[in-house]
Structure 1
Amino acid sequence: MHESTLHGNILLVLGLLFAMLLLVMLGQKMRISYPIFLVLAGLALSFIPGLPAITIDPNLIFLIFLPPLLYQAAWETSWQDFWRWKRPIGLLAFGLVFFTSSIVAYVSRSMIPSFTLPLGFLLGGIISPPDAVAATSVLKGVKVPRRVTSILEGESLINDASSLIVFRFALAAVVSGTFVWHEAATSFVLVSGMGIVVGLVVSHVFYLIHRYLPTTPSINTVLTFIAPYGMYLLAEEFHFSGVLAVVSGGLLLSFRSHRVFDADTRLQANSVWASVGFALNGLVFILIGLELPVVVGGLGSYSLREAISYGLIISGIVILIRLLWMFPAAFVPRLLSHSIRTGETSPGWQGPLIIGWAGMRGVVSLASALSVPLLLSNGQAFPQRNLILFITFVVILITLVFQGLTLPALIRFTGVAELEERIPPEEQEAGIRLRLRRVALSHMAQHYADDLQQNELIRALQQRMQAEAQRTGNLLEALDYDESKRQALQRYHQVLLDVLHVQREELFVLRHEDEFEEEMLRHQEAQLDLDEAKISHMPH
């Protein structure tokens, strides 16, 4: 690669990153979810005269973007919630994906001239999986039951794998011209199962490295970035599901992370991953908008009007299929199983409606569409490639923008937040802290009785934890919505923040006295940051 080309590419990436950050801040100012705003802004930027056309290498999205984004999603997924809602997650991630792919295949074959059934399944596999980032970013700031977010997050982890497998088999059918159902079903089980096995094996290797080798927080953080790429590449090397490898391995390592990571590693890794994940997601969504004019220019024999009509019809079908699927999937198992009726509360009509409307397409659909090859094995042009690309972009735009902008209003209309039966988050947090303080005090009383009598430092630790337990108990009482207690709690937060501010100012003075090392001052500053972060997550 020429040096000038390399410099140009680096400058382009930096420019996109900077533009993405500015647009995200503007979107926050306008109270628009950043995936929606970035796609629209990217589309608007692409029409600026003189701006070079940006073509995306699909391998970059699959290889650079997909493994870390899936790994981050798996890491942040609650295994308890995932297992608790495994039935609705499975019905959406597998049943709905296959159902959507089939309906789209037959509709597109009957509607679009010279569109074959394998091409229909290829299109269905591309546009069937909703995007997790889009849904969760739209839901931020809107109160919805934990059940809804858990099902959406769990679905998004698995449906990428099932849709990509449909895509892979449909692509093979287009290239070879044949498709045998029982062979495809057998291959699906093999590809999925062995993908999970690869993910679990690789994750065990990294678990042993984290636990038994002399790692540091920096080494551990870098290893967490190597892990998803190792899982994905190894699985794909053997033609297994790289997506399921990353998801299964990420879930296992997340579940065991408390055994291998110390506090410093968790703080550092969480901060790094939050920043990197945000940057990768932002880049992908702005690239979606920037790429659309390139796709329009390659439509060939189809007029723009025809292509738009196909895209709108397919978008409507995809939205309708998901809504129609939700209610039988939610209520038929309850009708057939007494254990489900007694073990789970009814989702009502609000939960299925919100989950059904949250089917916004994004990163995986974009990567799949772009990875359709230009040529068949015999050297002929891949049939209908540009039209498939265009329909995919229309589906992404319609579902992301239209459904994304209307989802908060729909949530408010249903009043679903009022149906939440679980303990409020702030009360859960205070309850957890109180439980931890009490078990610590009990442990100290049982095992360190002599030290408590003789060692002033240990006795001071006990007194501090008793005071913290008392303060947490008072906080729980204040959460009973008694107005006087609420005002006392708010005043407590104000005083505590003011005290932390004074301490931070004193640290600034200490930096100029040349008495303490900078490293120790930074350590104390980080502790103040943690204390302030605790307050910011408390109810005000």
Structure 2
Amino acid sequence: MDTVAAIQLLALPAGAVALAAVARRRGWPAPLLLVVAGLLVSFVPGVPVYALDPEIVLLVFLPPLLYSAALDSSYQRLRDVKRAIGLLSVGLVLFTTAVVGLVAHLLVPSLPLAAAFALGAIVAPPDAVAAVAVARRLGLPRRVITVLVGESLFNDATALTAYRVAIAAATGHGITLLGGVGEFLYAAAGGLVIGLAVAWAVSQVLARVRDALVENTIMLMIPFGSYLAAEVVHASGVISVVVVGLYVGNRMHRTGFGTRLLSDAVWRVTDFFLETVVFALIGLQLHAIVMGVLDDEDPWTLAGYALAVFGAAVLARVVWVLPGTFLPWALSRRVRARESRPPWAEATIISWAGMRGVVSLAAAFAIPEDFPGRNLLLFLTFAVVIGTLLLQGLSFPALIRRLRVSTEREAYADNLAEAGAQQAAARAGLERLEEVAQREGLAELYPDILDQLRGKSERRTLNAWERLGGGTGPEGEETPGAVYRRLRREMLSAEREVFVRLRDARRIDDEVLRRVMQELDFEEAILERP
């Protein structure tokens, strides 16, 4: 690779990270800014064409992003909303495939019905990357986030299976409806079995390693290995990765504290980098796609096609989600006995959270070169992806404010539950302390140490209760816990200055500085509880 090619290759991630940094500092939605920037840059003369390789997206970007989202998800919360996730990740995907396919076929009669259904399958699933990035940023209620994340974790399996069936039918490989259902069931079951097998094997390995660096290196390889293992036997790599991520995430408490701290940092950096590059790549595809389709179609006709398909994709979700949310509760006595009436606001938010992303584009680019209407399908896919990202992404915050959706009650309940748990845990810790001190006769030998440990346990419990007031008392004054954290941070800052000054004076080595800095950083991390 020559120097110019290397610089061009580095320019994409470097520029994307710089834009994302600006967006984070100013509080702007980084995904939308990156997409818009990519759209504009794609028409700048001299900018190289960044062609989206579907194999790279599906093998390099998708597995770690899916795995990270699953690792950070709650299996218990997903199980609580399994009906909603099933209706969205299977029912809605198939419904959208049918609606978009029929609209596209009616608009362009020359487009074979199977090819139109392929388009429907391509644009049917909201993207895991887009859904998770937007949901986390907006601070939506936990149930809404769980539904959206659960949908985005599983819907790719349904969509990609429907896509393969439609492509096979359009290219004359002759597949029946029953055969398509069988392929879907095989892909789902195979992905589940392989995911469980990989999860069990990984848990056995991690239980024997006990080295934070090695454990996290293994976890970086898990999503790729799990995805490839399933795809080799034509099962669902998506489901395989999600199952492993949920399994490992549910058992992270069994790993060491170093593994958990390092894992959180590793996956936050990985998510940030991959999501940043992915959204920039989406925008950069515009020039190549538009140039490829303008030779065959009139621009105004293309705009009409794009608006119709985009509208069908958006409306199909609204038409499916609202009845799907309220009809089960209205028609089933068992559902009413278990659940309260679904809030209109949450249903409306879910119905508008249909941002498509890079997986749809990757599937479109994977269409065979000789496929009927390939350029048109690419253009329509791009129109739906960009339209949903910009229209729904930009209007989402305003919709949430208009609906007055708040997480304050949820946050208060969390803090209250944590305070009660901290008190129970502190009581258990103090009982163990007294038991060991009495058994080993430490009370008279080390009374100061025991007092320090008792005080630390008491402060932790008080901090949890004080968090209910946001760190202030009834008159707005600082609570003792808030004062303690503020003063201790000042002390840590002064201590760091001394260590750096001694290192600069060559009185301590850099290795010593790194070691003590890490200890101080760990203590400050505890003080900076979110």
TM-score by length of 1: 0.91
Alpha-carbon spacing, 1:319–1:435, altered in 2? closer, same or farther (3 Å) = farther
2:200 pairs with 1:204: yes
Matching residue of 1:74: 70
Partner of 1:295: 289
CA distance in 2, matches of 1:174, 1:394: 22
Letter in 2 for 1:466: S
1:425, distance to aligned residue in structure 2 (A): 4.6
Q: Cα distance, 1:151 vs. partner?
A: 0.8
Shift of 1:324: 1.6
2:478 corresponding residue in structure 1: 487
Report the equivalent of 1:475.
466
Question: Which of 191, 198, 204 is the equivalent residue of 1:195?
Answer: 191
Give CA deviations for 1:408-434 in whole Å, capped at 9, x if unaligned: 010000012168456355555545444
| Contact 1:144–1:420 (Cα < 8 Å) also in 2 | no
Could you tell me whether the CA contact under 8 Å between 2:415 and 2:464 is conserved in 1? no
Deviation at 1:493, TM superposition (A): 4.4
Aligned to 2:454: 463
Residues 364 and 448 of structure 1, relative CA distance in 2, 3 Å threshold: farther
Query: What is the CA deviation profile of residues 145-203 of structure 1, one whole-angstrom value per residue up to 9, with x for unaligned ones?
Result: 21111111111101111111111111111122533111111121111101111111112
Give, in angstroms, the shift of residue 271 of structure 1: 1.1
Q: Distance in 2 between matches of 1:150 and 1:329?
A: 17
Question: Which of 227, 230, 253 in structure 1 is aligned with 2:225?
Answer: 230
Whole-Å Cα distance in 2 between the matches of residues 164 and 486 of structure 1? Answer: 57
**Are the counterparts in 1 of residues 500 and 513 from structure 2 also a CA contact under 8 Å?**
no
Distance 1:135 1:476 in 2: 30
- 8 Å Cα contact 2:356-2:388 kept in structure 1: yes
In structure 1, the residue matched to 2:142 is: 146
Amino acid at match of 2:378: L
Q: 2:521 aligns with which of 516, 525, 529?
A: 529
Structure 1 residue aligned with 2:302: 307
Residues 252, 119 of structure 1: CA spacing in aligned structure 2 closer, same or farther, 3 A cutoff?
A: same
Q: Output the amino acid matched with 1:392.
A: T
Q: Is this contact kept in 2: 1:330–1:352, CA < 8 A?
A: yes
Task: Tell me the alpha carbon deviations over residues 227-282 of structure 1, each in whole angstroms, 9 at most, x when there is no partner.
Answer: 111111111111111111111111111112222x2111222222122112211111
Describe the shift of the 1:536–1:140 C-alpha distance in structure 2 as closer, same or farther (beyond 3 A): farther
**Contact 2:416–2:465 (8 Å) recurs in 1:** no
Runs of at least 5 residues in structure 1 that lack an aligned partner in the other structure: 375-380
Aligned-pair identity in percent equals 35
> Deviation of residue 8 (structure 1)?
4.5
Q: Does 1:355 align with 2:344?
A: no
Structure 2 CA distance for aligned equivalents of residues 219 and 441 of structure 1: 34
1:389 aligns to 2:381 (yes or no): no
**2:333 counterpart residue number:** 338
Structure 1 partner of 2:59: 63
Please report how far the alpha carbon of residue 480 of structure 1 lies from its aligned counterpart in structure 2 after TM superposition: 9.4
Partner SS for 1:484: coil
CA contact (8 A) 2:23 2:29 kept: yes
- Which residue of 229, 239, 245 corresponds with 1:244? 239
Alignment-mate amino acid for residue 468 of structure 1: R
Structure 2 residue 404 is the aligned partner of structure 1 residue 404: no
Q: Is the 8 A contact 2:136 2:145 kept in 1?
A: no
Partner Cα separation in structure 1 for residue 505 and residue 252 of structure 2: 41
Match of residue 506, structure 1, among 498, 503, 512: 498
Q: 1:33 aligns with which of 29, 45, 48?
A: 29
- Give the Cα separation in 2 of the matches to 1:529 and 1:338: 54
| Cα displacement (A) at 1:447 | 4.8
Q: Does 1:423 align with 2:412?
A: yes
Question: Which stretch has the larger CA shift, 55-64 or 457-466?
Answer: 457-466
Residues 424 and 536 of structure 1: is their aligned pair in 2 closer, same or farther, counting only changes over 3 Å?
A: farther
Match of 2:111 in 1: 115
Corresponding position of 2:311: 316
AA aligned opposite 2:492: L
CA distance in 2 between partners of 1:522 and 1:427 (Å): 38
Kindly state the Cα deviation for residue 102 of structure 1 after the two structures are TM-superposed: 1.0
Q: Is the 8 A contact 2:430 2:454 kept in 1?
A: no
2:491 maps to amino acid? V
- Report deviation, 1:390: 0.6
Find the counterpart in structure 1 of residue 431 from structure 2.
442
Which is worse superposed, 289-298 or 454-463?
A: 454-463
Distance 1:112 1:79 in 2: 44
Corresponding residue pairs, total: 526
Aligned residue in 2 for 1:162: 158
Aligned partners of 1:232 and 1:245 also within 8 Å: yes
1:508-539 deviation per Cα after TM superposition (whole angstroms, max 9, x unaligned):
2343465655445423322332333344334x
Q: 1:530 to 1:236 in 2, by over 3 A?
A: same
Give the Cα separation in 1 of the matches to 2:266 and 2:260.
10
CA contact (8 A) 2:190 2:236 kept: yes
Q: Cα–Cα, structure 1 residues 75 and 444, in superposed 2: closer, same or farther, change >3 Å?
A: same
Judge conservation of contact 1:135–1:360 (CA < 8 Å) in 2: yes
Give the CA deviation at 1:132: 3.2
C-alpha distance 502-427 of structure 1, shift in aligned 2 (>3 A): farther
Q: CA RMSD in A?
A: 2.4
CA–CA distance in structure 1, aligned partners of residues 182 and 345 of structure 2 = 38
- 1:377 alignment counterpart: none
Paired with 1:196 and 1:148, the residues of 2 have a C-alpha distance of 25
8 Å Cα contact 1:437-1:465 kept in structure 2: no
**Are positions 1:88 and 2:84 aligned together?**
yes
Shift in CA distance, 64/357, structure 1 to aligned 2, threshold 3 Å: same
Higher mean C-alpha deviation, range 433-442 or range 125-134: 433-442
Question: How far did 1:460 drift?
Answer: 4.4
Quick one: which amino acid aligns to residue 94 of structure 1?
Answer: V
Q: How does 1:178-189 map to 2 (within 5 A)?
A: 178-189=174-185
Distance in 2 separating the partners of 1:526 and 1:427: 32
Question: Is the alpha carbon distance of 1:485 and 1:453 closer, same or farther for their aligned partners in structure 2, counting shifts above 3 Å?
Answer: farther
1:128 aligns with 2:124: yes
Asked if 2 retains the 8 angstrom alpha-carbon contact of 1:200 and 1:249, the reply is: yes
Q: Secondary structure at 1:423's aligned position in 2?
A: helix
Deviations 1:368-412 (A, max 9, x none): 1111121xxxxxx21111111111111011100111011001000
Once the two structures are TM-superposed, the CA of residue 472 in structure 1 deviates from its matched residue by 2.4
